[in-house]
Amino acid sequence: MRTFGDWMSWDDARDALAGRLSAEDVERLDAAYAFATDRHAGQTRPAGEPYTYHLLEVVEILSTALNVTDADLLTAALLHDVVEDTPTTRTEITQRFGPRVAELVDHVTMPPTPPGDDRAAARHRYLSRLRDLPADALRLKLADRYSNVQRLHTHPRPAKQRAYYTETCHYLAPLAVVDSRLADLFTEWQHAYQHLAQPPPSAGSGPADR
C-alpha cells in the first residue's frame, strides 16, 4: 500500500514543486502555506503530529500521485480546512486567493450543524452530496481523505479506526472511480485495513482470557 509523507516541511514541498510549476505559481503556494500555517497554529492531528503535515500530504498526493499542476487546486489543498476548522471565512479566501480557490474549499467544507439538528444526520448529508462534486473538487476531497486514513492504525481510538474505515468504504472509496489512480490507492488501502471491517471481539473471549 502506498503512503505519503515525504514532504515534512514546506521547503521539501517547495523543492519538489519547483520542477513542476512556474515560479509565479510556487509563490502563490508560498502565500497559501504561510496563511494556512498561521490559521492552524497549535492544531495537531489525532496521532499528535502537527496539522501542517496533513496539508503537505494532501498536496503531495495531488502532485505526485495524480500529477496535478493546477495551482488553484494545489492552493485549495493547503487551505481546504481553514474554513471548517478556523474562524476563516469564504469571503476572506476569495479576497486573498481568488474565487475558484474559495469555491474548491467550499465544496469540501462540511457546513456547521444547525442548532437542534442531529450531528450524524448532518454528516450523512454532507458525505452523500460529495458524489455531486465537480471532478477537481472530488479529487481534492479524496486526497484529503486518503491522507487522513493512510495510517489509520495510528489513531489512538480503536473504535474511531473502525468507524472511519466503514465511513470511508461506504461514502468515499466508491467515488474514487473519478480517477483510476485514486481508485487503485483506495483499493489497496481497503485491503490493507480490511480487518477493521470485522466487529471487535466480545468481552470475555479471545486468547487473553484463556
Catalytic residues: 84-85
What gap in Å lies between CA 35 and CA 16, rounded to an integer? Answer: 20
* Longest distance between any two alpha carbons in the chain, whole Å: 65
Q: What is the 3-state secondary structure (H, E, C) of 68-135?
A: CCCHHHHHHHHHCCHHHHCCCCHHHHHHHHCHHHHHHHHHHCCCCCCCCCCHHHHHHHHHHHHHHCCH
**Amino acid identity of 35?**
F
